[in-house]
Amino acid sequence: MSKFWFPAVLGLVLAAASAAVPPVEAQSVTVLAPSRVIELAGRKAGEEVPVVSSVALDRNGKLLAVAGDDHLVRVFRTSDGLLLYRLSAHEDWVRATAFRPDGWVLATAGDDRLIKLWKVSAEQLPRNLSNHRWPIYTLGYSPDGRMLAAAGFEDKVWIHQGEDGQQVRVLDGPGSDIRALVFSPDGTRLAAAGRQGRIRIWDASTGRVVYELAGSGRRICALAYSPNGKLLASGGQQRSIRLWNMATGEPAADLPERPGKVLAISFCGANRLAAGGSNNLIRLWNLVTQQEQYRLVGHTGSVTTLAFDPGSAVLVSGGFDTTVRIWQLNSQDIVIAN
């Protein structure tokens, strides 16, 4: 059973951080502590404790899937952190997790070059999709659940049927080593990016290239669409986050650069963007002012993955410190759509 740590006072611990922020950074940043920390301890003495490479929430935010380099996928109940399942069919590092939007299937993939489809709440072996030549780094379901996209250390994006996993299309990626992909909220477009720093966006139904976005040339590690689909955010080794206008395919804004590589990003409502990275922090940006508003502290290793539940305003993070952290954001700050 996993161990949990709760702060002395439940909820967020808020503290003005202006005295600790260098003059070059915003002076109104507020520091937040997590409401819960899940430590991924092994069942047996000496069992490996994994770094966390992926977290995913189901459609209602009730189930939390956590994967890492110990070849396991753990499924927790989000409300209290109870460990429900340990899924152990992978033979190498599990890099990616994604719940199908209907909540009945969990897709996982990683360095063993396999995509596995697990029936949630059913204790049975998963369905294995076709072997890939190289490890798979990222997965994503379309909002209607009809498509499952996968990519990794190849220069391809693989499209599978969301229902049975049958491969239906292979797209030429924007270079090799693809680290991030995401469907638009309406499901009409699919974006992917990786080592070459370029973002390619396709019409999801036909595979036609819609936009070819030229970034900095440095690796992109994370992509996220805004809830209304009007913006695409990208981040990576450039250490700043770029917002792209999806009506024109042109840059809309660059958020101020901060220390550390950007490894994970997630919209938290229409005008809030969370970004985690190699400096062990999560920064929550106000996109109206383009200023850092909150700083989420507690991780002691790189923050590699984020997931947000709009219904409860809960942000989940994981990283190289072998923990998963739950952040209860202020719901008054979370506007779902413009």
| Residue 20 falls inside a structural domain | yes
| Residue 4 falls inside a structural domain | no
| Residue 198 falls inside a structural domain | yes
Residue 67 CA to residue 87 CA, distance in Å, equals 9
Q: What's residue 335's pLDDT? A: 47
State the total domains in the chain.
1
Segments forming the whole domain that contains residue 249: 13-321+329-333
- Mean pLDDT by 10-residue block, N- to C-terminus, for the chain (338 residues)? 33 30 55 93 69 96 96 94 92 97 95 94 80 91 97 95 92 93 98 93 97 87 97 93 96 94 96 97 96 96 97 96 94 50
Question: 74: which residues sit within 8 A by CB, 6+ positions away?
Answer: 2, 40, 65, 66, 67, 83, 85, 86, 87
Q: What's residue 42's pLDDT? A: 59
| Residue 46 falls inside a structural domain | yes
The 3-state DSSP class for residue 19 equals helix
| Residue 38 falls inside a structural domain | yes
Q: What's residue 44's pLDDT? A: 60
Enter the pTM of the model.
0.88
Q: What's residue 120's pLDDT? A: 85
If DSSP states are collapsed to H, E and C, what string results for 150-191?
EEECCCEEEEEECCCCCEEEEEECCCCCEEEEEECCCCCEEE
In CATH, what number is assigned to the domain containing residue 255?
Answer: 2.130.10.10
Q: What's residue 338's pLDDT? A: 41
| Residue 72 falls inside a structural domain | yes
Q: What's residue 28's pLDDT? A: 82
Q: What's residue 23's pLDDT? A: 38
| Residue 82 falls inside a structural domain | yes
Residue 300 CA to residue 198 CA, distance in Å, equals 30
| Residue 246 falls inside a structural domain | yes
Q: What's residue 51's pLDDT? A: 95
Residue 162 CA to residue 177 CA, distance in Å, equals 23
Q: What's residue 40's pLDDT? A: 87
